[in-house]
Amino acid sequence: MSNQIDRDIAMMRRAIRLSMRGFPAPNPHVGCVIATGDTIVGEGYHHYAGAPHAEVEALTAAGSNATGATAYVTQEPCNHQGRTPPCTEALLAAKIARVVVACLDPNPIAAGGIEKLRSAGVEVSVGLLDAEAAEANDQFLTAMRFKRPRVVLKAAMSLDGRIALPSGESKWLTSPLARKQAHRLRAECGAVLVGRRTVEADDPSLTARIPGVVNQPIRVILDPGAKLHGHWKVFDDSAPTIHVVNGTFGLLAGPEGFNLDELCEALFKKGVLGLMVEGGAATISRFIKARLFDRVELFVAPKLLGNGPSWVDGLGLERLADAPELSLISLKKLKGDVQISLRHERGN
């Protein structure tokens, strides 16, 4: 490559692409590339919580070639003992000469890796492609910023916004490819929330049934009246479940159910950093009315139902100016279906 900065950018872009792989929730997405000049000698990413971190996987691949090399890491190497040892110690033991970091770690428990490396004589630079790395790690960074899970609202619908026929029939509205992508979102979020009536209507398992998922998402079931019992699929042993009834986490339900801010705060304290709200319409609407959501993922099938329940209901808006505003992130064609990804703009 022509110069050092071009090389650094190319290597960090590779690390960011790697970081998007795997299902590490509730841990951050991190990628690492180890290179000597233009030659990559090792690379890795964090596959799942409990697996080796990206730096360790890359160092293992590099072996003795890591000595004197440069490590490109999308997030500040951790400096604490968790399920795995500190990545700073692994980098020092491998005699890495230089570390290029995109984003600082906002988690005070894990931060401090840069200072540790610099104090040991390693050359460290910070901030290269930080915006790109932050977007790839949006869930973790959003949760750390707001001290609550990043909330994603998800719905599958017809072109006219219906999630089922008036009879209640809804299987299968979208294609297998769209459902596979929805399972991927469950795994990426690490937790899935539904209300009691969705459990009674659909008896969903709420698992992520795709290759590569080691830690199934936590199922969060809102049931303030404690009307659900163990024969439903959400209470089987295929994934962990938090059955939220009166008194869970010390929460008390009001006339409209639980205070969602308090619920999300309690889930964050339990280690839930991503939360996909799958339904039903009343539950999704409560999150919208509370302005307690960060993204929306809509799977739209090329069908017209005419009547039947909508994916969102009863927002009680009196002025158009009061409607929450969303910005488009992406449109993806999933064979006949379309996935629409949107970001909630915080001004409204």
Q: What is the CATH number of the domain that holds 212?
A: 3.40.430.10
Instruction: Show pLDDT as tens, one digit a residue, over the chain (348 residues).
Output: 458 999 999 999 999 999 999 999 999 999 999 999 999 999 999 999 999 999 999 999 999 999 999 999 999 999 876 667 789 999 999 999 999 999 999 987 767 899 999 999 999 999 999 999 999 999 999 999 999 999 999 999 999 999 999 988 888 899 999 999 999 999 999 999 999 999 999 999 999 999 999 999 999 999 999 999 989 999 999 999 999 999 999 999 998 899 999 999 999 999 999 999 998 899 999 999 999 999 999 999 999 999 999 999 888 898 999 999 999 999 999 989 999 999 998 755
How distant, in Å, are the alpha carbons of 28, 38, 224, 232 from that of 197?
Answer: 32, 57, 11, 12
Q: How many domains does the chain have?
A: 2
Q: Give the pLDDT score at 168.
A: 82
Contacts of 250 (CB under 8 A, 6+ apart): 266
> Residues 115, 235: one domain?
no
Task: Give the helix, strand, coil percentages of the chain, each rounded to 5.
Answer: 30, 25, 45
pTM: 0.94
Q: Give the pLDDT score at 313.
A: 87
The CA distance from 218 to 193, in Å, is 8
* Residue where a domain stops, chosen among 121, 141, 161: 141
Q: Give the pLDDT score at 197.
A: 93
How distant, in Å, are the alpha carbons of 6, 147, 194, 306, 319 from that of 143?
Answer: 32, 5, 20, 38, 31
> Residues 338, 204: one domain?
yes
The CA distance from 23 to 28, in Å, is 9
> Residues 70, 126: one domain?
yes
Contacts of 337 (CB under 8 A, 6+ apart): 174, 175, 177, 178, 299, 300, 301, 302
> Residues 157, 209: one domain?
yes
Nearest to 238 by CA among 263, 213, 262: 213
CA within 13 Å, CB half, 165: 7
* Residue where a domain stops, chosen among 111, 141, 171: 141
For this structure, is 55 an active site residue?
yes
Q: Where are the alpha helices (DSSP H) in 103-238?
A: 113-119, 130-136, 138-146, 176-189, 196-202
Q: Give the pLDDT score at 23.
A: 97
* Tokens read off for 253: 């339900």
Contacts of 180 (CB under 8 A, 6+ apart): 210
Cα angle vertex 212, ends 207, 213, to 5°? Answer: 30
Q: 55, 57, 76, 278: which is the annotated catalytic residue?
A: 55
* Residue where a domain stops, chosen among 71, 106, 141: 141
Torsion of CA 134, 138, 141, 143, to 10 degrees: 170
Q: Give the pLDDT score at 261.
A: 97
CATH label of the domain that carries residue 65: 3.40.140.10
Domain span including residue 11: 4-141
Q: Is 321 exposed, middle or buried (0-12, 13-18, 19+ CB in 10 A)?
A: exposed
Q: Is 301 exposed, middle or buried (0-12, 13-18, 19+ CB in 10 A)?
A: buried
Q: Give the pLDDT score at 2.
A: 58
The CA distance from 180 to 169, in Å, is 20
Residue 339 carries which side chain, given as an amino acid letter? Q
